[in-house]
Chains A and B, each alone.
Chain A
């Protein structure tokens, strides 16, 4: 019996499908990270840190890392201590008289509370962006040039020009302000002002950028710009962000730390925390059953 020979028919695998498979189809911001060679080197480490405001025990033996190439989100209900803890990393709590910080915090292995450590230098290396944008009452240019000037990072005009432009480019603001760089910073929109503050922090070449609810005062579009910016910045700086917006934490971070009443309840990879948290309190918080 002969077999019925069918003419060889190549099945053209749908070209569109192949194209789809090959093209980068990012599912979301924090998901694109694997293709970039993001190093996860330790930048800052907090070890058994306690913070007291007078008699109030605000932070209880918290240990946590901030890694380069990653965004670490600090989440938790109001009053849980996340902003207090964030401020430890650049010793901003020093400015609060009743505040007492104990435990060890290091930057690149060096204790930031060491006697011989210059705290002003620390705050250049570990920059901070606040909830309410706080541009200086100066021109856009002078806002960004201020840090490099007082730190002696630049001396000549061309050097300042270069730093200002580079910082504004990296903060995603250059195109919008390059033709009015001598104008007052206060004339900018809220979202632009916040990006200016980020440019200001970047201008002194930090290693770490701390962000305390940077989008809380912004509308959704401006927020989206900042989140995109955070994604871009992640390749250059270690970033820690306090946010009360859990969705934001889920979108932008690779690591999440959940705080509750001053205690670090859970700290791990963001995709694990949001798909399968270990602690019931974490689960209760992120599903909205509590807090």
Chain B
């Protein structure tokens, strides 16, 4: 499922860079495969819990599988949304200028996804923590992209409808990276039985955990 997600995201992004409407159209169909896997995993997890009654790390693993599948299903949806933006962008007579910062954002986002999946496959909590630590940088990239576009629009407002889609692609990519951090959190939960979700927020209010 992870493999499909990485591939579909790459395809969606390629359709944006190339203005390739046909490629973008494929993405919606590709997303169905991901949805099918999500349903299959639901059934598998239910069966595993009912028939095996796992405990300890086995139980955490089975729960994590369900969580990760949910995050990956969302990534599939985000890829589909990126492709929709690609189709709208391709429909314009003039291709929009793709900011270089957006390309950096896409690389960061794809890298976060790949690393989170690698860390899950290998039970690698060090790599998972790298994903968590890098997430702020991804957020900053997204903010910069949007700031640059808004600045651009002040002087050239006529390109607004195109630029909106570019902004949306940036937001979707930031969400992909968020899901990567969710996956990374699951890796730590499975390996260390430590729940680091919402850690910074909870620490901020002086949580006693």
Q: Using a CB–CB distance below 8 Å, which chain A residues touch chain B? A: 1-6, 9, 11-14, 16-21, 27-28, 30-31, 247, 250-251, 270-271, 274-275
CA of A13 to CA of B114, assembled, Å = 7
List the A residue with the shortest CB-CB distance to B8.
A11
Q: A1-B94, A4-B97, A13-B3 are known contacts. Are A274 and B50 too (CB-CB below 8 A)? A: yes
- Contact bitstring B81-119, A, C-beta under 8 A = 1, else 0: 000000000000011011010010000001000100110
Query: From residue A101, how far is it (CB to closest CB) to chain B in Å?
Result: 33
B76: chain A residues at CB < 8 Å are none
A30: chain B residues at CB < 8 Å are 51
Q: Which of B3, B51, B97 contacts A18 (CB 8 A)?
A: B3
Whether the pair B114, A14 counts as a contact (CB closer than 8 A) is yes
Residues of B within 8 A of A (CB-CB), count: 31
Q: Which of B18, B110, B117 contacts A17 (CB 8 A)?
A: B117
Whether the pair A275, B19 counts as a contact (CB closer than 8 A) is no
- Contact bitstring B171-206, A, C-beta under 8 A = 1, else 0: 000000000000000000000000000000000000
Q: Which of B2, B17, B19, B95 contacts A14 (CB 8 A)?
A: B2
A13: chain B residues at CB < 8 Å are 2-3, 6-7
CA of A21 to CA of B51, assembled, Å = 22
Query: From residue A252, how far is it (CB to closest CB) to chain B in Å?
Result: 10
Whether the pair B114, A3 counts as a contact (CB closer than 8 A) is no
CA of A42 to CA of B107, assembled, Å = 58
Asked whether any CB of chain A lies closer than 8 Å to the CB of B46, the reply is yes
Query: From residue B78, how far is it (CB to closest CB) to chain A in Å?
Result: 15
B122: chain A residues at CB < 8 Å are 16
Q: A14-B3, A16-B118 are known contacts. Are A251 and B97 too (CB-CB below 8 A)? A: no
CA of A6 to CA of B2, assembled, Å = 24
Query: From residue B27, how far is it (CB to closest CB) to chain A in Å?
Result: 14
Whether the pair B51, A270 counts as a contact (CB closer than 8 A) is yes
The A-contacting residues of B in range 38-70, CB under 8 angstroms, are: 44, 46-48, 50-53
A11: chain B residues at CB < 8 Å are 6-7, 9-10, 110, 114
